[in-house]
Structure 1
């Protein structure tokens, strides 16, 4: 996994640090600060092509009318170039400016986008996408098969690409005609349609990256529903409706203004004043938002709060200590502190209803202080091992976690690392034993496993993986999404990971959006927030 998929620690909302600019931590404050049903199913499997509709090219300019500007308090991206974006959560902002060959529906199924469909060969080593005709980038250049080929190759081959590790299986890309893209794979991989629905599959204008690749960080050139017209780093992005978007007839907004994550203490006032008309809020502000006459939507997501455990470092190099940690944690209490109870206690990386969620797992590590104490007592470190909780804020959940661990015998310190240094210290240097963290989910289940449990996965700092788990994960990619065996294959890997890996999953974090009465209902997309059909009175 590359740095583009680096998870973000869940930091205090009071810090008001945005995920734009130099930091990418602010969003997760909503899940773990002091204030605190996706089915990747059968589309585009072997011999299967998706179908879809949309208005494309010049005709899109005639499709309906758009009005109103959505003022979204959310997060600014680390980079407007999907190849150099360094945060998984950037996908929400980047999806305003870019489109991929596929996208995901509300359930998380891969469905057509720039491509009308796709088809695998018999052994899953080649997938052919058919593009919509007359597509254009926001700079007016043609988005044809050659452009798609060049964009994918750049993501795979560019020296500064942070999505390259997701494309190592792409052997060759060819464009036999303007609307046909053929991807030959080094090995069978039926996850490609889902993988291409996220940042990895966003198509960038070759004209733009050939002329000024570094400039894309501040000025995206894609084919998404909107075009960036103004950008002030760490402050504001202004986007206007793109009439040449393939699905332009479903975009009813004239534009979007994107802002950094609002401070929890002022977000409701900002919505009341009109500074925002849509904003992410923590669970602590739901009552205040409703009292102010705002509408609140709680949208399930793939985000889950976690503790990253480095089993290469003391005291977690002793399996008894790593297991004691799982029994020492009171997940329900942490959920209440972090998000006022919004979300669900989690023992696995996937939420209930997602195809990877294994219901048979149940609650394998219920809070059991006595068992935790017994495990510590028999460990080589004795009943009172020393441990440091690494975080980007000392408030809220880290403090409560400290208390829970001390109750079973751990001697606990809290280390606060500035957000701008967090990735380097925790995920590149692998120099911390216990980290308060969060996993934002991935469009592809295989990609999610790679991030969490792969031998090079950033959320696997100990870099150890049992052979049986490696084998189980390998089966995911070679199983077609429409195969009746796919759910069982994925859930078997989940069960092994929960049993054998040290990651401590805590609770799910829904997307909580408060909006003005002038804004219509926001579509409940599990993985990436989109705005088809949204209107403003």
Structure 2
């Protein structure tokens, strides 16, 4: 009898092992916000870029040292006059609907980014005149003028390829059923709840895809995100609180992955779209006074335990394009008061401050509110849901918009789209012809010395006009369970899923 029981138990164990071997692996990723639209032409959120990295490959990618490396393209060559870029595509690539990624499809994707109504990629590809098909796997981007940042743009959303068949069928609803050429295919999205993706069997690099399903879960509260990671409800979370670093590092079941972020957090000032014509929009002296009222290092210590880097430009002090001639100025409340007096404004200066929901965002706003009050400002903090904040920003419904930019590998990607007249993310409507010309000139040369000299002139103008008050540069803080193997954090903040394994 005992022998029979042993045989049965052994068979049951074998069945369990077989079931475990066949069971699907699911990677659950906790996001700090719910992305906007899952259309690479129309998206403008950082969390959107994280989700895209799971299903929308780009022509090129970057490595840990910010070198450009092949992805959907194998190579590129720039003409001697800098006015054309020829790109060789990877053979055998398919979109998730089975359609081939060939030169015609690549041409369609780039032209869609350039021309689709509401596309946020237009300014990134503004110097592209047209796209030519050279042969079935080669395209040529013909430029209006030389354009130094072009290859950097093609490592992000401007380089993402979408299925022409799906894009034509869905039109402006493509973001509801996106089809790209990445490792995972879209399954479903429930707003404010989850986004589900399944492994794409015909992915060009399928031998390096080891996880069957990815589920993105927007969880705004970072404490809840971390609790879910600790309990096993999540496998990876982005944007760990700086104050939780010690807690994560002391947990034997967790790993903290970090990298310096390429972007910044800044206060976008509504200069030309402010319907109330408040003092902040009408006077550079008032904006300069607000800047001088802020102690960036104290802000860093109070909110982030000193983990971030105080800054005053669109690139960090460690960046090769940072302008050392314009260092971060110390707080000077008396100078701020004097500037407000010179501007002749009534005190206190009341300002609407729009802040995306989240404990760190709100803590930053509260510290700035307290500091600015000593100089004569009354900042009215208005906390708003993240995606809604972008709609209000585009509509001009703010005076200050506290917003983070995740950053790009080329300094143009941190400046042009926010500061150039008419640029798609210039929410405050800033316009300075001299600044516009300098941004355009910086795009014309690839020589770092010449470009840095142009950016020095631009920095002088922007720090005087203050359309954006730059505050600090974050450290990317990603935590994951030790069961997840192969994870490396890149400075662009994306969560790359190819090569990951779940034990």
Give the TM-score band, short-chain normalised.
0.7 to 0.9
Alignment of 1:357-376 (within 5 A): 357-363=322-328, 365-376=329-340
**Which residue of 404, 416, 436 maps to 1:450?**
416
**Which residue of 259, 284, 301 maps to 2:261?**
301
Structure richer in helix, relative to its length: 2
Matched, 1:526 2:497: no
Matched, 1:124 2:82: yes
- In structure 2, what is the equivalent of residue 45 of structure 1? none
Kindly indicate whether the alpha-carbon contact (under 8 Å) linking 1:67 and 1:252 is maintained by their aligned counterparts in 2: no
Larger radius of gyration: 2
- In structure 1, what is the equivalent of residue 307 of structure 2? 342
Q: Can you give the 5+ residue segments of structure 1 that lack an aligned partner in the other structure? A: 1-65
Kindly indicate whether the alpha-carbon contact (under 8 Å) linking 1:296 and 1:514 is maintained by their aligned counterparts in 2: yes
1:236-260 superposed Cα distances (whole Å, 9 cap, x missing partner): 2232333543444444433322111
Stretches of 4+ aligned residues off by more than 6 angstroms? none
Alignment of 1:124-273 (within 5 A): 124-214=82-172, 216-273=174-231
Post-superposition offset of 1:420: 5.1
1:392-425 superposed Cα distances (whole Å, 9 cap, x missing partner): 4594222221111111222343334454543333
Q: Which deviates further from its counterpart, 393-402 or 191-200?
A: 393-402
**Which residue of 382, 393, 404 maps to 1:415?**
382
Q: What is the alpha-carbon distance in structure 1 between the residues aligned to residue 281 and residue 170 of structure 2? A: 47
- In structure 2, what is the equivalent of residue 101 of structure 1? 59
Cα RMSD, aligned residues only: 2.8
Q: What is the alpha-carbon distance in structure 1 between the residues aligned to residue 40 and residue 425 of structure 2? A: 21
1:324-363 superposed Cα distances (whole Å, 9 cap, x missing partner): 1111001123223433332111111112443332334322
1:197-233 superposed Cα distances (whole Å, 9 cap, x missing partner): 1112210011212233355323321111222234333
1:279-332 superposed Cα distances (whole Å, 9 cap, x missing partner): 122123223333443222222212321111234442442232121111100112
Kindly indicate whether the alpha-carbon contact (under 8 Å) linking 1:518 and 1:536 is maintained by their aligned counterparts in 2: yes
* Higher relative contact order structure (alpha carbons within 8 Å, sequence separation ≥ 6): 1
Kindly indicate whether the alpha-carbon contact (under 8 Å) linking 2:38 and 2:52 is maintained by their aligned counterparts in 1: yes
- In structure 1, what is the equivalent of residue 343 of structure 2? 379
Alignment of 1:58-137 (within 5 A): 68-74=25-31, 75-137=33-95
Q: What is the alpha-carbon distance in structure 2 between the residues aligned to residue 466 and residue 80 of structure 1? A: 33
Q: What is the alpha-carbon distance in structure 2 between the residues aligned to residue 492 and residue 526 of structure 1? A: 27
- Shift of the 354–247 alpha-carbon distance from structure 1 to 2, 3 Å rule, reads farther
Post-superposition offset of 1:508: 1.2
Q: What is the alpha-carbon distance in structure 2 between the residues aligned to residue 411 and residue 219 of structure 1? A: 45
SS at structure 1 position matched to 2:491: coil
1:27-50 superposed Cα distances (whole Å, 9 cap, x missing partner): xxxxxxxxxxxxxxxxxxxxxxxx
Post-superposition offset of 1:67: 8.2
1:47-97 superposed Cα distances (whole Å, 9 cap, x missing partner): xxxxxxxxxxxxxxxxxxx98432211254322221232435411211211
1:508-533 superposed Cα distances (whole Å, 9 cap, x missing partner): 12221111111225212111332343
State the TM-score, normalized to the length of structure 1: 0.80
Number of residue pairs matched?
470
- In structure 2, what is the equivalent of residue 323 of structure 1? 288
Q: Can you give the 5+ residue segments of structure 2 that lack an aligned partner in the other structure? A: 1-22, 273-277
SS at structure 2 position matched to 1:408: coil
SS at structure 2 position matched to 1:359: coil
Post-superposition offset of 1:385: 3.0
